Amino acid sequence: MTMNEYINEAESVLLHTYNRYPVVFDHGKGVKLYDLEGKEYLDFCAGIAVFALGYGNEEYNSALKAQIDKLIHTSNLFYSVPAIEAAKGLAKISGMDRVFFTNSGAEAIEGAIKSARKYAYDKDGKTDHEIIAMNHSFHGRTMGALSVTGKKQYREPFCPMIGNIRYAEFNDYESVLGNVNDRTCAIIMETIQGEGGIYPAEQEFLEKIRKLCDERDILLILDEIQCGMGRSGSMFAYEAYGIRPDIVTVAKAVGCGVPVGAFMMTQKVADRALKPGDHGTTYGGNPLVTAAVCEVLKQFEERRVIDNVRTVGEYLYASLEQIANEYDCVTAHRGRGLIQGIELDPDKKSAAEVCRKAIESGLIIITAGTNTIRFIPPLIITKEDVDSMIGILKNVLG
């Protein structure tokens, strides 16, 4: 079958919840993807910040194959060595004490919300606690995750959401403080807003939020599903701020392609949060996906992935700054490490159209926010890859 024939078949059977690009990918190697017709694409999307170690990674593939031959699933009624080792590794790199594995980022958010509410319930026995979320945030599509997503257009068709959620302005401490009351049990935010347009938290803002939470025994939940796992230039973005959350959520690059996420917490939270019977998952943290997590953590250390993110991230930043200075359609440039974005003037350029033309030219980039182009490539890219991307981007913008 041809690529167009496959696309027509897909449109006849798949639920139309995505406006997909007209490409059917067949295989990948390194930071390149290839469609069914053999066309090559430079990937600056990484499966939406997932494939940190690139495609065709032999060690990663071998680790998964070995685990498939050994044991794929047993349920959480029993222990497994990969899950134990993966949990130890994540606790070590995150500074957290307890780990719960999920199947996705949205499920990790659900667990974080439940943990915060149970922590507050355990303190006073009340069920009217509130959570403060940020406008323009994105935490997932399930009902709980959607309830703390700060985009009304995403929530409205599915209302009513879960209750007692307040929305504050990101990087505006007074806005957050104005929403705090004696029922507030948690504040949730992305350390770097991704879908919202690549907005890093400001240093003073995050420091004040951490202090506020400490003073009032409010839990700080940081969503690092997209910006974590080295993407910002540190293993977790909050490390650069010198603070530690009470609960953190991860997914995407933590498994580099297999469906796995996690929410992690301090021992203080764990002592009062979820107990046996409060939460569970059939597939979460099974031997196959946690074997992938173990291999990812191993390669991050051996290949010094974060060092590469810092070096190439600085080069990408300088390159995009040059684009911002050279093209009057670019109104802003934001980001850190290998999570960056350029915002376009909607009267001059459509980000969606630029991404479409880039893909036609062999470059995969995607949008964020209202009119922002997002750059979230595999973490193993080189300066030469950045140069190739910039060359195509200039042609498209021009």
Share of the chain above pLDDT 90, in %: 99
Residue 62 lies in a domain: no
Tell how strand 32-35 and strand 219-223 pair up. unpaired
Asked if residue 179 has pLDDT above 90, the reply is yes
* Domain CATH number, residue 12: 3.90.1150.10
Q: What is the distance between the alpha carbons of residues 66 and 72, in angstroms, rounded to a whole number?
A: 10
* Domain CATH number, residue 149: 3.40.640.10
Q: What is the distance between the alpha carbons of residues 196 and 190, in angstroms, rounded to a whole number?
A: 10
Query: Is the four-CA dihedral 268, 214, 136, 344 of positive or negative sign?
Result: negative
Identify the burial level of 242 via C-beta atoms within 10 angstroms of its C-beta, where 0-12 means exposed, 13-18 middle and 19 or more buried: exposed
Residue 98 lies in a domain: yes
Q: What's the per-residue H, E or C state across 20-88?
A: CCCCCEEEEEECEEEECCCCEEEECCHHHHCCCCCECCHHHHHHHHHHHHHCCCCCCCCCCHHHHHHHH
- Domain end among 250, 267, 302: 302
Whether residues 348 and 260 share a domain: the answer is no
Helix or strand holding residue 100 (H, E): strand 98-102
Q: What is the distance between the alpha carbons of residues 250 and 248, in angstroms, rounded to a whole number?
A: 7
Give 248's strand partners.
222, 264
Asked if residue 398 has pLDDT above 90, the reply is no
With bands split at pLDDT 50, 70 and 90, how would you rate the model's confidence at 164?
very high
With bands split at pLDDT 50, 70 and 90, how would you rate the model's confidence at 239?
very high
Whether residues 294 and 377 share a domain: the answer is no
Residue 146 lies in a domain: yes
* Residue 361 Cα to chain centre, angstroms: 27
Whether residues 162 and 176 share a domain: the answer is yes
Predicted pLDDT of residue 23: 97
Q: Which of 283, 254, 390 shows the shortest CA–CA distance to 333?
A: 390
Whether residues 319 and 252 share a domain: the answer is no
Predicted pLDDT of residue 70: 98
Identify the burial level of 62 via C-beta atoms within 10 angstroms of its C-beta, where 0-12 means exposed, 13-18 middle and 19 or more buried: exposed
Q: What would the mean pLDDT of 91-111 be, rounded to a whole number?
A: 98
Predicted pLDDT of residue 205: 98
Whether residues 187 and 285 share a domain: the answer is yes
Asked if residue 4 has pLDDT above 90, the reply is yes
DSSP letter assigned to residue 372:
E
Whether residues 132 and 161 share a domain: the answer is yes
Q: Strand, coil or helix: what is 164? A: coil
Asked if residue 206 has pLDDT above 90, the reply is yes
Q: Is the peptide bond before 160 cis (omega within 30 degrees of 0)?
A: yes
Residue 64 lies in a domain: no
Q: Which of 309, 337, 344, 339 shows the shortest CA–CA distance to 323?
A: 344
Residue 65 lies in a domain: no
**Are the CB atoms for 366 and 387 separated by under 8 Å?**
no
Predicted pLDDT of residue 391: 98
- Domain end among 272, 302, 332: 302
Q: What would the mean pLDDT of 24-36 be, rounded to a whole number?
A: 97
Asked if residue 339 has pLDDT above 90, the reply is yes
Q: What are the pLDDT digits (tens) for 250-285?
A: 999 999 999 999 999 999 999 999 999 999 999 999
Which string of b and e fits 368-390 if b means at least 16 CB within 10 Å? bbebbbbbbbbbbbeeebbebbb
Asked if residue 92 has pLDDT above 90, the reply is yes
Per-residue tokens: 226: 């997209």
Whether residues 126 and 273 share a domain: the answer is yes
User: Would you mind telling me the total number of residues written for the chain in this entry?
Assistant: 398
- Domain end among 275, 302, 329: 302
The CB density around residue 149, as the number of other CB atoms within 10 Å, is: 27
Per-residue tokens: 164: 């007692």
With bands split at pLDDT 50, 70 and 90, how would you rate the model's confidence at 322?
very high
Whether residues 330 and 271 share a domain: the answer is no
Residue 191's domain spans which residues?
Answer: 71-302
**Are the CB atoms for 60 and 299 separated by under 8 Å?**
yes
Whether residues 15 and 155 share a domain: the answer is no
Q: What are the pLDDT digits (tens) for 140-151?
A: 999 999 999 999
Predicted pLDDT of residue 267: 98
Whether residues 260 and 192 share a domain: the answer is yes
Whether residues 345 and 293 share a domain: the answer is no
Whether residues 296 and 319 share a domain: the answer is no
User: What's the number of domains the chain is made of?
Assistant: 2
Q: Which of 264, 307, 257 shows the shortest CA–CA distance to 49?
A: 257
